[in-house]
Structure 1
């Protein structure tokens, strides 16, 4: 009796294993196609978030520098170079995100 139960379990387990393999190969095609769409969405979100962050940072930098110059016009020479350097570094981060997004897609 125990042998029949073990044989029945073995038969059911192997048929389930073969059915799972067939289902996996069918879904692999769908997953491969949907991965391209997910990568495109990730690239678009990376660009959108980096541009938003870069624009906010550049606006804050320029506003702070202009506020400092308005309070002390003699400090304009000391504020101009660090401000331009900061703006260039912020813009380089946005360009780096663009390159990463282009590599993804």
Structure 2
């Protein structure tokens, strides 16, 4: 009886623990990802992660790479999180659409 209660507790707490672990991987909301001056980030690796789930990875990596070189930052994750890199979020195309994936 006690073993089954412990097992049930573990299954109920597992999603909460996973959420906490995933939340620690990204900077908190409102934190701007600005590397130290003179220390460029690895744009190729950052864009590879950013574009890993897109249907058009080559197009995504090309646009991301262009934005990364200008801003020297790429937001974490595969989508959103633009508040972590404001320069990346504000770049637009000639048509006024967001340039950076």
TM-score per shorter chain, which class?
0.3 to 0.5
Greater per-residue helix proportion: 1
TM-score by length of 2: 0.36
In our comparison, the structure showing a higher alpha carbon Rg is: 1
